[in-house]
């Protein structure tokens, strides 16, 4: 990225899974990274921060991740009566 001010958006949709990622940057003296994402993605925050820092050296970076899983999953629920009785 050649400018400290910019905006980018990417969308992915397949099989009932929708993912939207937005990146916004504004001028700042230092590198300041702020990510807002679902809890399921928190484990990736450090890797995302390092990847962004490889390309952007300074500026305030805001990353927004929206994820929705609209797949119909019909999970079969069974009860283990033996374990329930022991409990």
* Spatial separation of the C-alpha atoms in residues 9 and 7, rounded to whole Å: 7
Each residue's pLDDT, cut to its tens digit, for the chain (87 residues) gives 556 789 999 999 998 899 999 999 999 889 999 999 999 999 999 999 999 999 888 899 999 999 998 887 767 788 889 988 888
Q: Which residues pair with 32 in a beta bridge?
A: 60
Q: What is the pTM of this model?
A: 0.72
């Amino acid at each position: 990225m050649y400018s400290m001010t910019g905006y980018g958006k990417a969308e992915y949709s397949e099989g009932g899974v929708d993912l939207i990622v937005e990146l916004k940057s504004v001028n700042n003296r230092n590198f300041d990274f702020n990510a807002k994402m679902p809890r399921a993605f928190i484990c990736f925050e450090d890797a995302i921060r390092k990847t962004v820092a490889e390309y952007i050296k300074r500026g305030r970076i805001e990353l927004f991740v929206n994820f929705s899983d609209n797949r119909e999953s019909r999970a079969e629920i069974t009860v283990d009566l033996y374990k329930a009785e022991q409990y």
